[in-house]
């Protein structure tokens, strides 16, 4: 079981991701902003994966900056980026190590596959 920090400013998308991951046996914590996410990292003992939207609250690179700050706080943290916008080479160059990209819209199967393939995180439910 993994502990996943979900950072998504669209409440419906965040709630669906949380629901799916919990159904799969994972623990989740969530945030809608960079500031909330960093606060969660400061008080949560264990976080295995940061699952973040790249563009948050009108800032097209907020999730990229969040990932950098999160890695400074938690070296070795894995990052799964998501976005419904196009991803440029410049954005990819800003990705942190141990990261992957899951384009929106994604299905629950695609999310599960991405966790398993890129991060060896599998569900605990049948």
For residue 82, the domain's CATH number is 3.40.50.2300
C-alpha angle 34/64/81, rounded to 5°?
95
CA distance 68 to 19: 26
pLDDT at 126: 45
pTM assigned to the model: 0.94
- Domain membership flag for residue 9: yes
> Using 50, 70 and 90 to split pLDDT, how confident is the model at 125?
low
**Coil, strand, or helix at residue 45?**
coil
- Domain membership flag for residue 125: no
- Domain membership flag for residue 126: no
- Domain membership flag for residue 59: yes
- Domain membership flag for residue 27: yes
How many domains does the chain fold into?
1
CA distance 38 to 30: 11
pLDDT at 121: 87
Domain that holds residue 11: 3-119
User: What's the mean per-residue pLDDT of the chain?
Assistant: 93
- Domain membership flag for residue 10: yes
- Domain membership flag for residue 53: yes
- Closest residue by Cα to residue 63 from 19, 115, 14: 14
């Amino acid at each position: 079981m993994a502990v996943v920090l979900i950072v998504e400013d669209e409440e419906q998308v965040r709630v669906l991701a949380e629901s799916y991951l919990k159904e799969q046996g994972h623990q989740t914590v969530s945030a809608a902003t960079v500031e909330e996410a960093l606060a969660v990292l400061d008080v949560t003992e264990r976080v295995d994966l940061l699952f973040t939207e790249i563009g948050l609250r009108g800032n097209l690179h907020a999730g990229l900056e969040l990932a950098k700050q999160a890695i400074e706080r938690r070296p070795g943290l894995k990052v799964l980026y998501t976005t419904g916008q196009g991803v440029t080479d410049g954005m990819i160059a800003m990705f942190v190590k141990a990261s992957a990209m899951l384009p929106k819209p994604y299905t629950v199967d695609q999310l599960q596959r991405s966790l398993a393939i890129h991060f060896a995180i599998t569900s605990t439910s049948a």
